[in-house]
Amino acid sequence: MSTRGTLAPQDRYIVISSDCHGGGGLLDYRPYLEKKWHDDFDAWAAGYEIPYEDLKGDLGDRNWDSARRLSDLEADGIVAEVIYPNTVPPFYPNNSLVEQPPAPNTGDLERRWAGLRAHNRWLADFCAATPGRRAGICQVMLHDLDAAVGEVRWAKENGLFGGVLLPGAPPGSGVPALYDPEYYEPLWAVCEELDMPVNHHSGSAAPAAGERAEDKVILLLEVTWWAHRAFTHLLVGGVFERHPGLRLVLTEQGTAWVPEELARLDYFFDRMGTGTAGSQEAVWGKELVGRMSLRPSEYFARQVGIGASFLRGHEVPAAGRIGYEKIMWGSDYPHREGSHPYSREALRAAFAGVDPTDVERMLATNAATTYGFDLDALRPLADRFGPTVAEVGTPLAPASVPLDAEKCPALIGYGREESS
């Protein structure tokens, strides 16, 4: 539903990015560690080499320089954001979004937990610096559910209203699959109790990949498939049935796959529940499906949202099939594939010709409903920085942006070769 009734061409959209990334610089985390970890941290940091070029030099401070970040986002027309992790927390070899912890009996789980807690506490302060504009997402580990539940409660009490990042549990992770009907129950229960969205981002569910070119390409081709499984696993595990107030957000996984996947799941669940007696589907699944009151597509409609990073124009019809009330646009700042500094152009490429009321849902209303952003508080900022309805409604012409804009998938086909 529109927040202001019929939108006029001169009205400005409130733009909330449902997918941004951030974190502290390597040494920024030290004050947030318990003192017992300081010697370990000093030794670790002294020998650690940051593996990502975009976390070094001038590019890196976009993650933690609050003033620069606000300036970048406002220039892009964005006034609020949901923040996923990006930098390397203490004692992690790589970004915690994609790095799978070691198996419980082989690695430094206690140190990694300390590192994630330090990140959460840094993030709480970072978000508090701009009240109401940053929905920070709390990180947990799945190897100790009591500790995870305690961290979720801490996050709620300390203003991380972005909810919880659900790590993947791929083969080899040392924890049960997410469809385990008992192991994760305390986590689902506390997230429902505290109204903390459960966020599952692409990259966090794939098994560890090697360093060969072939490994990287397979990861690139399969990474979203691994992430898609979170919905199916929670569905099969009965999580949506037992916790009707739980909200799952699937981010940076595309949108076009959803209608076909829901149709596939509905087909199989129908076959398992009411299909031909004695069919293999019924033999294996009738008891499980009998415990569910809704079809997969109905659970999805009730409890799942999509963080649609750099939404492409050809995906918007598929988004309409899912329901525009399910879609939350994201810029993926500051990633190289993100839309910065061409987010205004990316909005035009995606939404020109779409009903402004539906655009408003995807840019603001849905994120406000999911995460609790106060649209009235953001309105004065949007009136200064937001794009107008007329601007977003103007189609983006081919070859109208610099060629480097095509690093963002939303702008492929719109770049131009610069004349020499």
Do 345 and 394 meet the contact criterion of CB atoms below 8 Å apart?
no
Taking alpha carbons only, the member of 112, 134, 113 closest to residue 123 is 134
Q: How far are the Cα atoms of 15, 217, 243, 332, 370 from residue 361, in angstroms, in the given order?
A: 10, 35, 25, 19, 11
Contact partners, residue 329, CB within 8 Å, separation at least 6:
15, 17, 18, 308, 311, 347, 350, 362, 363
> What values do phi and psi take at 22, rounded to 5?
-165, 175
Q: d(Cα 389, Cα 10) in Å, to the nearest integer?
A: 6
Q: d(Cα 138, Cα 143) in Å, to the nearest integer?
A: 16
Q: Give me the sign of the Cα torsion angle 306, 310, 313, 314.
A: negative
pLDDT reported for residue 105: 66
pLDDT reported for residue 384: 98
pLDDT reported for residue 108: 87
Residue 248, amino acid: L
pLDDT reported for residue 104: 67
pLDDT reported for residue 191: 98
DSSP per residue, 87-106: S--TT-SS-TTTPPPPPTTT
pLDDT reported for residue 2: 40
Block residue for tokens 């927040």: 3
Q: d(Cα 296, Cα 302) in Å, to the nearest integer?
A: 10
Helices 213-236, 296-303: axis angle to 10 degrees equals 100
Which domains are assigned to the chain?
Answer: 16-415 (3.20.20.140)
pLDDT reported for residue 351: 97
Do 241 and 291 meet the contact criterion of CB atoms below 8 Å apart?
yes
Q: d(Cα 398, Cα 202) in Å, to the nearest integer?
A: 29
Tens of pLDDT, residue by residue, the chain (420 residues): 344 568 999 999 999 999 999 999 999 999 999 999 999 999 999 999 998 888 988 899 999 999 999 999 999 999 999 999 999 999 998 888 887 777 766 778 999 999 999 999 999 999 999 999 999 999 999 999 999 999 999 999 999 999 999 998 888 888 999 999 999 999 999 999 999 999 999 988 888 878 899 988 988 888 888 889 999 999 999 999 999 999 999 999 999 899 999 999 999 999 898 766 778 888 888 899 999 999 999 999 999 999 999 899 988 988 889 999 999 999 999 999 999 999 999 999 999 999 999 999 999 999 999 999 999 999 999 999 999 999 999 999 999 999 999 999 999 999 987 764
pLDDT reported for residue 5: 62
Return the structure tokens found at 178. Answer: 């997410």
Do 304 and 248 meet the contact criterion of CB atoms below 8 Å apart?
yes
Neighbours of 198 (CB within 10 A): 25
Provide the b/e sequence for 386-405 (b: ≥16 CB within 10 Å): bbbbebbbeebeeeebeeeb
Say what the pTM is.
0.95
Query: Which element (helix H / strand E) includes 415?
Result: strand 415-416
Environment class of 55 (CB within 10 Å of its CB; exposed 0-12, middle 13-18, buried 19+)? buried
